[in-house]
């Protein structure tokens, strides 16, 4: 992939984190707020509700999916570290891992699109400057 595509994927993934940050932001006392405050986005109550819905709908926080990816990665590494490698088993495990990672990436992209649909252009710029250093 070209460097430009990877830049957009990274920027998008960072933008998607806003859905999770909204939940955290709403439950974080002011004295414990992170360096970037969601207040900088000046979200309306309707946007907060929409972003929380994005968070719920996209499956963020699905620890089971992350745990399955990690378990498959560990198992694949174990299989590859054996003296005799079962190529069919490795290929099968690799395919399973690819499907899980694809699901995670698809969720990420759906979240990015959803979040960008809720935020104004200016809010996206503010978020991008925080997350992407622009």
pLDDT at 128: 76
How far apart, in whole angstroms, are the C-alpha atoms of residue 95 and residue 1?
20
Does the global pTM surpass 0.75?
Answer: no
Residues 16-62: pLDDT tens digits?
554 445 445 555 555 544 456 677 788 888 988 888 887 776 665 66
Where b means 16+ CB within 10 Å and e means fewer, 81-106 reads eeeeeeeeeeeebeeebeebeeebee
Number of domains comprising the chain: 1
Q: Where residue 98 falls among pLDDT bands split at 50, 70, 90?
A: very high
Range of the domain at 68: 3-132
Establish how many alpha carbons lie within 13 A of residue 100's alpha carbon, considering only the half-sphere containing its beta carbon.
Answer: 18
pLDDT at 17: 53
Distance from CA of residue 133 to its chain's centroid? 18
């Amino acid at each position: 992939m070209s460097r430009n595509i990877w830049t957009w994927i990274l920027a998008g993934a960072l933008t998607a984190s806003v859905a999770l940050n909204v939940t955290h932001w709403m439950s974080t006392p002011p004295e414990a707020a992170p360096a970037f405050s969601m207040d900088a986005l000046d979200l309306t109550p309707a946007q907060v509700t929409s972003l929380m819905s994005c968070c719920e709908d996209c499956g963020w926080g699905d620890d089971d999916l992350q745990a399955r990816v990690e378990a498959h990665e560990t198992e694949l590494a174990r299989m590859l570290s054996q003296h005799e490698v079962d190529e069919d088993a490795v290929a099968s495990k690799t395919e399973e891992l690819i499907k899980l990672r694809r699901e995670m990436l698809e969720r990420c992209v759906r979240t990015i699109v959803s979040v960008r649909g809720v935020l104004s252009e200016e809010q996206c710029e503010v978020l991008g400057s925080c997350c992407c250093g622009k």
